[in-house]
Each structure stands twice: as structure tokens, then as C-alpha cells.
Amino acid sequence: MKRMKKDVLLILKGLKEIRSIRPGLLGLTIFRAVFIAVTPFINIYMSARIIDGIAEKAVLKTLLLYALLTISANFIILLSLNILNRITNSCEESN
């Protein structure tokens, strides 16, 4: 327990140091990591919706809407990730 507390304090000290050197970099990195983590779940969820729609014999228009939403969500997230990568890289390079 004592070791874990010491490790957590060391990590917090490191995060404070990073924040003092590059104030916005840590937040951008966390935000980017969340986008990366969420991306596969959109495909999993929407695939399940499409499969459920097929099983329930939903209208073709509804299935196409699900497919379009999946493609649009992936496009928006990947575009956002690309923008975040550029911002993060420019923050890292402006030394």
C-alpha cells in the first residue's frame, strides 16, 4: 500500500511537471486517447443495430441510415483525430 501511494505521488509530480512545461499538451493527449478508444465501439454498436434491423426485417431506408451514420461518425472522429494529431505535434515541436 505504501509503495502504491509513493508511485501515485510520483506520477502526479510528473504530470505537474509536464503541465508546467507544456500547459495544453497533456489535455490534448488525453482527449486524443479518448477519441482513439471510442472509435471501435461506434462500429461495434452500429453493426449490432444493423444486424438487429436485418433480423427484425426493418425497412431498407432505416438500414441505409444506420450505415450512413456509421460512416459519418467514423469520418468525423478520424477527421477530429487528424486535427488533434496536428495540434499535438505542433505543440511538441514548438520548443
Helix ranges (DSSP H) in the chain: 2-21, 25-55, 60-93
**C-alpha cell read off for 28:** 490534448
Q: For residue 64, is it within any domain?
A: yes
Write the pLDDT tens digit of every residue in 19-42: 888 777 888 888 888 888 989 999
In angstroms, the CA 70 to CA 5 distance is 43
Q: How many domains would you assign to the chain?
A: 1
Q: Give pLDDT, residue 68.
A: 96
Which of 90, 74, 91, 95 lies closest to 24 in space, CA to CA? 91
Q: What mean pLDDT value characterizes the chain?
A: 87
Task: Give me the domain span that covers residue 64.
Answer: 27-93
In angstroms, the CA 6 to CA 8 distance is 6
Write the pLDDT tens digit of every residue in 76-94: 999 998 998 888 777 666 6
Q: For residue 13, is it within any domain?
A: no
Q: For residue 88, is it within any domain?
A: yes
Could you tell me if 18 and 91 are in contact, meaning their C-beta atoms sit under 8 angstroms apart?
no
Q: For residue 11, is it within any domain?
A: no
Q: For residue 1, is it within any domain?
A: no
